[in-house]
Structure formats: C-alpha cells, structure tokens
Amino acid sequence: MRFIDIAFMTPPDNFGEMVARAEADGEDNIGNHSDVWRCCKESLKQASFDKCFYCEMKDIRSDGTVDHYRPKSKYKWSAFRINNFRFACTFCNSRRTDRKTGEVGGKGAGFPLFDGCQRATCPGEICNELPLLLDPCNAADPDALDYRTDGAAVPASDGDANPQRVRAVTSIEAYHLNHSELQEARRRAAIEIGENQ
Ligand SMILES: [Zn+2]
C-alpha cells in the first residue's frame, strides 16, 4: 500500500451542483446518485497511476470502481464526500471467494472499529473514530504493511497489541490482499525487480 494524496484532486466543474442535488434528494436515495462518485473515477485513477489504492494492482479484468472508504450504507453523511472516495479493484472492493484457497475476502460494506470506539455520525467526529481498516489516503497508514519475497502481504510491525499491527492484520483480510492471484503477481514482480538489480 502506498500513500495516495487526494487533497489536490480536481473534481469536475459541476461537482458542487451534483452533490447539492444528490443531498437534497435525501439519504434514502443515495443509490440514485452514483454519478457523483463515478464522475471522480478518472481523477482518482490518475492520482494512483491507474492502480487500486488498496492493493496497488492494475485490475486487468475490470476497469475498477470508486469505493467509499467509509461505506455509504453505514455513513450516509459521507456518501458524496470526495475525500471518502478511493479507486479500488474488484478484489478489494467486493466480497468474493478465492477459488484456489477457498478464503473469502473483500471489503464489501464492512468498516470495523476498535472495541469501545463510537462510529462517527458527522465529519466532526472522524477524529475520534479508530478504524481497523488502513487508509491509503492517510500518510501514517501504508507503512503498516510489508510484503515478503513470496508475494504475501504481512504486518510490518511486531507485537500483538500494536494497533498498527492489528489494523494491518484486519486490512489484509478485509481487502483480500493475500488473494492467491495477487500474491502470485507480487511474487513475480519481486523476481523481476531482483533480476533487474
Ligand atoms: Zn485492489
């Protein structure tokens, strides 16, 4: 995982109007305004050089999607907030089973928090929330992950009580970062890098 800076991302000119229209339609109709996040997809892709924010892979079988870091089902107030948008591949974004290992992964609508932590009900409460999922748009988070030469994603730090280790373990599962196809792609990339050094 690499830090992706979306602070300077430029939305389309009419983005503000689109958001205003979508918000005026009410929380029950969020799904009718997917154009708000879809119109940001190209800018998000450019920010990551076409790679999924979570697993850094270019998805060769689909053109990816705009994921809500805080799922719009649990955080309706965040459905149209541009700083909640992440470009994601289908491995990371959707629940699916790894045919080779039988393991199920993918973020889906999950957004676990540390025990005892209150879910944010408005933007002002985000600073009090402690998500268990690493955020590629938070500069402090990507370093919590490391990759072995066999392609496996692993926590970068030791200590079962270390919060960043706990978050790394949770994120590896939630983003399906050790899906066999991703792991194999990383292993091959590691070999290529080794051969070119
Ligand atoms: Zn991905």
For residue 108, how far is its CA from the centre of ligand 1 (angstroms)? Answer: 12
- Does residue 113 form part of some domain? yes
Confidence of residue 61 (pLDDT cuts 50, 70, 90): low
For residue 116, how far is its CA from the centre of ligand 1 (angstroms)? Answer: 29
Single-letter amino acid code for the residue at 165 = R
Check if the beta carbon of residue 153 is closer than 8 Å to that of residue 177. Answer: yes
Please name the residue that has the structure tokens 């009580």.
Answer: 161
Average pLDDT on 162-188 reads: 92
For residue 3, how far is its CA from the centre of ligand 1 (angstroms)? Answer: 14
For residue 51, how far is its CA from the centre of ligand 1 (angstroms)? Answer: 8
For residue 25, how far is its CA from the centre of ligand 1 (angstroms)? Answer: 31
Average pLDDT on 26-30 reads: 94
Confidence of residue 65 (pLDDT cuts 50, 70, 90): very high
For residue 69, how far is its CA from the centre of ligand 1 (angstroms)? Answer: 13
- Does residue 3 form part of some domain? no
Q: What pLDDT is attached to residue 60? A: 60
**Between 100 and 132, residue with greater pLDDT:** 132
- Does residue 101 form part of some domain? yes
- Does residue 105 form part of some domain? yes
Half-sphere exposure of 150 (CA within 13 A, CB side): 5
Average pLDDT on 30-59 reads: 93
For residue 183, how far is its CA from the centre of ligand 1 (angstroms)? Answer: 12
CA distance 129 to 151: 32
**Between 2 and 196, residue with greater pLDDT:** 2
Tokens of 87: 């470009």
Check if the beta carbon of residue 129 is closer than 8 Å to that of residue 114. Answer: no
Confidence of residue 125 (pLDDT cuts 50, 70, 90): very high
Domain that holds residue 181: 15-195
Single-letter amino acid code for the residue at 7 = A
Confidence of residue 10 (pLDDT cuts 50, 70, 90): confident
Overall domain count for the chain:
1
- Does residue 7 form part of some domain? no
- Does residue 6 form part of some domain? no
- Does residue 4 form part of some domain? no
What is the reported pTM? Answer: 0.90
- Does residue 80 form part of some domain? yes
Helix, coil or strand: residue 109: coil
CA distance 2 to 135: 10
Is residue 80 classed exposed, middle or buried when 0-12, 13-18 and 19+ CB atoms within 10 A define those classes? buried
Is residue 168 classed exposed, middle or buried when 0-12, 13-18 and 19+ CB atoms within 10 A define those classes? buried
* CB-CB neighbours of 112 under 10 Å: 13
